[in-house]
Chains A and B, each alone.
Chain A
Amino acid sequence: MQALTDNALMLKVKSGDLNTLGLLYERHKKRLFGFFYNMNSNPSLSEDLVQNVFVRILKYKHTYTGEGSFTAWMFRMARNVNYDHFKKNKNNRETNDLSSISFKLQDSKDTNSEQDRKDVISTVQRAMNLLPPEKREVLVLSKYKEMKFSEIGEILGCSEGAAKVKAHRALKDLRTVFMQLEKR
């Protein structure tokens, strides 16, 4: 149960009670980490990017108006952080396919069905990495059960309907890439 809404906490941060940011961090750190991890498959980089989001929240706290959802505002920052990072490291994309390889090796004793499931997950992850970032992003956001499409629209800067259409088409593309990888 969360007594104080994210909105109220962020307004406290804005008014100078910076320690309150700790509460927002505890509430959202896993979700943000999951967002970055699903975008880049690199846990250490994802942790750094989560940190960058909160640095940015502090830097731009004066722009927070309290209108709309805090989550949408925070994820807009997360998108920008992700975008800036990959713009800076254009020639050095940090994806970590090794993690899925070692993941396969260490589980050689698993039963066949469990191994099959893990193979599928690994292929889906690879398919995700091959999608353009904007498609990957909309899929990662729709994965969160607690996030409504109205919020996803707010984050992506489009209408709720457009966000749903984007998600649908990205899902279709994911399927196409996945099938191509399965055939190899």
Chain B
Amino acid sequence: MDTTQFEIWVMDYLSGELDEASIQRFEKFLTDNEEYQKQFDVLLSSWEQLNALEVPEPSEKMDTQFFEMLSNATEKNDKIPWYKKLQMGIRQGMDSLVQSKLAYGALVLILGLTLGYFFRNGATEVDASSEMASTSETKQVREKLVLTLLEQPSANQRLQGVSEANKFEKVDDKVVNALLKTLNNDPNVNVRLAAIESLIKYVDNPLVREGLVQSIVKQESPILQVTLANLMVALQEKKSIEPFRKLMRTKELDTTVIQQIERSIETII
């Protein structure tokens, strides 16, 4: 047998690219040819050693760096004027039209429609479960993105993080805690306001409600104090009364804010 042919055959066998019949043919060939058998045995042990090589897990730092890079790139991309994006879109559309070879596309379409007609029910099930898998994968990535963005030094990026957090159907505790931390500690008022708006979407979650109530005494800015007061009225949250009273006792508040809070307490009672 030609050396090259044997080399290819061995790699097919080792990498599992042979079907059952070919495997049997290969093994019989080795049994019948002692010299090749010896060569193969040596390689097999190297192959096994190679596969035993261990790789450590990458650290969390790698994820943080990646999502920081991605958020910077996204921010830059958002600044591109709309007409340039439109131009890019049209150019890409034209490219893909030419590449897709229309005739071939039409053939696939007809074939797809025919198959679709016959396998309609089955396909629907597959689509539904595929959709679910895709949604959960997207959710995980979005969570990572939100958590990374909320830790960024730039207020714009933190705002972007809050806006990403609005896109969840159902929010995870990790994200809720990150939003509450932003609401209580972020140095920028706009980011804190955006965090309230984002949390409002998830007020059915007890953790969110509790977090909002606890946040009342931590707010220094009049606009946030008033926003929280209005929100508690809307939610008719009785647990908020005591924190509001404490806020009025312990902090020097703006007169308008005091009036607003007093009105809110009356409405809630």
Q: How far is the CB of A21 from chain B (nearest CB, A)?
A: 6
Tell me whether A143 is interfacial, beta carbon within 8 Å.
yes
Contact of A19 among B4, B61, B70 (CB under 8 A): B70
Contact of A142 with B15 in the complex, beta carbons under 8 Å: yes
Contact of A47 among B54, B65, B69, B89 (CB under 8 A): B65
User: With a CB–CB cut-off of 8 A, which chain B residues contact A23?
Assistant: 137-138, 141
Contact of A26 among B47, B99, B137 (CB under 8 A): B137
Q: How far is the CB of B61 from chain A (nearest CB, A)?
A: 7
> At the interface with chain A, which of B128-136, B183-191, B199-207?
B128-136
Q: How far is the CB of B1 from chain A (nearest CB, A)?
A: 14
Contact residues, A121-137 vs B (CB, 8 A): 121, 124-125, 128
Interface string of B87-102 (1 = CB under 8 A from A): 0110010001001000
Contact of A178 among B49, B56, B58, B142 (CB under 8 A): B49
Contact of A50 with B140 in the complex, beta carbons under 8 Å: no
Tell me whether B52 is interfacial, beta carbon within 8 Å.
yes
Tell me whether A93 is interfacial, beta carbon within 8 Å.
no
Tell me whether B62 is interfacial, beta carbon within 8 Å.
yes
> At the interface with chain A, which of B6-14, B172-180, B240-248?
B6-14
In Å, the complex CA distance between A128 and B135 comes to: 41
Contact of B62 with A47 in the complex, beta carbons under 8 Å: yes
User: With a CB–CB cut-off of 8 A, which chain B residues contact A55?
Assistant: 69
User: Which residue of A is nearest B80, CB measured?
Assistant: A16
User: With a CB–CB cut-off of 8 A, which chain B residues contact A83?
Assistant: none
Q: How far is the CB of B147 from chain A (nearest CB, A)?
A: 12
User: With a CB–CB cut-off of 8 A, which chain A residues contact B131?
Assistant: 3
Tell me whether B46 is interfacial, beta carbon within 8 Å.
yes
User: With a CB–CB cut-off of 8 A, which chain A residues contact B42?
Assistant: 175
In Å, the complex CA distance between A149 and B96 comes to: 28
In Å, the complex CA distance between A105 and B99 comes to: 58
Interface string of A1-18 (1 = CB under 8 A from B): 111100000000011101
In Å, the complex CA distance between A172 and B67 comes to: 41
Q: How far is the CB of B158 from chain A (nearest CB, A)?
A: 16
Tell me whether B144 is interfacial, beta carbon within 8 Å.
yes
Tell me whether B55 is interfacial, beta carbon within 8 Å.
yes
Contact of B10 with A168 in the complex, beta carbons under 8 Å: yes
Tell me whether B77 is interfacial, beta carbon within 8 Å.
yes
User: Which residue of A is nearest B51, CB measured?
Assistant: A143
Q: How far is the CB of A97 from chain B (nearest CB, A)?
A: 15
User: Which residue of A is nearest B9, CB measured?
Assistant: A164
User: Which residue of B is nearest A37, CB measured?
Assistant: B55
Q: Given A1-B133, A164-B7, A164-B8, A121 and B54 touching (CB < 8 A)?
A: yes
User: With a CB–CB cut-off of 8 A, which chain B residues contact A165?
Assistant: 4, 7-8, 11
Tell me whether B31 is interfacial, beta carbon within 8 Å.
no
Tell me whether B228 is interfacial, beta carbon within 8 Å.
no
Tell me whether B43 is interfacial, beta carbon within 8 Å.
yes
> At the interface with chain B, which of A27-35, A72-80, A84-92, A107-115?
A27-35
Known: A121-B53, A128-B53. 8 other contacts (CB 8 A): A3-B133, A16-B88, A22-B145, A23-B137, A37-B55, A47-B61, A50-B62, A149-B15
A–B Cβ pairs within 8 angstroms, 25 of them: A2-B133, A3-B130, A16-B85, A19-B145, A26-B137, A26-B144, A30-B57, A33-B62, A38-B53, A43-B56, A47-B61, A50-B66, A65-B99, A66-B96, A121-B49, A121-B53, A121-B54, A139-B50, A143-B51, A149-B17, A161-B4, A172-B43, A174-B50, A175-B42, A175-B43
